[in-house]
Amino acid sequence: MDIVWLAIGLVLLLVGGEVLVRGAVAIADRLGIPPLIVGLTIVALGTSAPELTVAIEAALTGSPGIVTGSVIGSNIANILLVLGITAAIQPVRASLKVVNRDGMLLVVATTFLAGMAITGAIVPVIGVMMIASFGLYTFYSYWSERVAARRMAHDTVPELAAEEIETYQGVPTKLHVSIPVFIAGCASVIIGAQFLVEAAINIARVIGVSDAVIGLTMVAIGTSLPELAISVIAATRGHSDVALGNVIGSNLSNILVILGITSLFGTIPIGGQIPWFDVWIMLAATIVLIPVMVSDRSISRIEGAAFLVCYVIYIAALFIGVPEAIMHSAGVT
């Protein structure tokens, strides 16, 4: 039954995340919120809603391994799995300065999280700083693009934001329709997260693996499904650059917003295998994107296939005990 509840939780997360963002975009459109703000906040945060609800639910149920595991595992999956599949469909292009700017911030945020892993915890004060950093980043992004638009003598928004919003068309903009849709999406995500976390914990206990491994694998892949759906849809429409922007925005939200908000419920310990293995895989996967972000290169189909192979190797390493072997060789119990 735990496997059934796990599957139900994943479905509710996927459907709920989709409905939540569609409702939010419709409300924003009705209220006249600029598309850039919608792209940078509602879409990015909406696709990260499953990770947020899972992290909070895990924190409240005393499973810190799932909190950090789901975020780090999701970031790894977003890069190696989501971009790998998307590039296999159509080579992924960089989206000019928006991706370059945001991508460099992602490298900084990922490096910061690696440093937090070394210290062993994320305390509430650090969490507040992480949330504030994301707020400043959003404000700066909006300000810089408005300045650029004025210089061009017409009001435009980045292609990235416009294409991401286009992915979520289809909900009537009348508030009496879009508000209930948004509420239904929130409820689905919350209920799905509860099912997912409880089932994952039970399965972990039965098969004898840690909460962290469950968070890094089943939970992480499940919560990355919204990003995968957006990226695949964008690629099939010929907008593969949206995939890279969506992954960068989602990974930024995962680190700065999700861990930041979750830490407000209590200090998040980062222990076990994560400081020894997984956080460095996440950092390495992020660094691999630098040549793509700072140049006009694309992630080719061959490179996308290589990403997928690396992800399969990573998952296999988790289940055959490579992290435990590294910790044992370092004298860590």
Task: Identify whether the C-beta of residue 15 lies closer than 8 Å to the C-beta of residue 188.
Answer: yes
Q: Contact 188/65 with Cβ under 8 angstroms?
A: no
* Most distant pair of Cα atoms in the chain: their distance: 63
* pLDDT tens per residue, range 226-239: 777 777 766 776 66
Which residues are within 8 A (CB) of 274 and not within 5 positions of it... i.e. 6 or more apart? 65, 68, 69, 72, 117, 212
CA distance 256 to 151: 31
Give residue-wise pLDDT tens across range 286-311.
998 887 766 657 788 898 999 999 99
Q: Which residues contact 43 (CB under 8 A, 6 or more apart)?
A: 21, 25, 161, 164, 165, 168, 246, 249
> For residues 286-304, b (16+ Cβ closer than 10 Å) or e, as one string?
bebbeebbeeeebbeeebb
Confidence (pLDDT) at 58: 81
Model confidence at 160: pLDDT above 50: no
Low-confidence winner among 35-39, 55-59, 317-321, 327-331 (lowest mean pLDDT): 35-39
Stated pTM of the model: 0.78
| 3-state SS string for 244-282 | HHHHHHHHHHHHHHHHHHHHCCCCEECCCCHHHHHHHHH
Place 153 in a pLDDT band, splitting at 50, 70 and 90: very low
User: What's the pLDDT at 310?
Assistant: 95
Domains of the chain and any CATH numbers: 2-329 (1.20.1420.30)
Token code pair at residue 95: 């989206």
The region, left, alpha or beta by phi > 0 then psi within -120 to 50, assigned to residue 204 is alpha
* pLDDT tens-digit series, residues 180-238: 877 787 778 778 767 776 787 777 778 777 777 887 887 787 777 777 777 776 677 66
pLDDT at res. 314: 94
Q: Identify the residue whose tokens are 């290589």.
A: 306
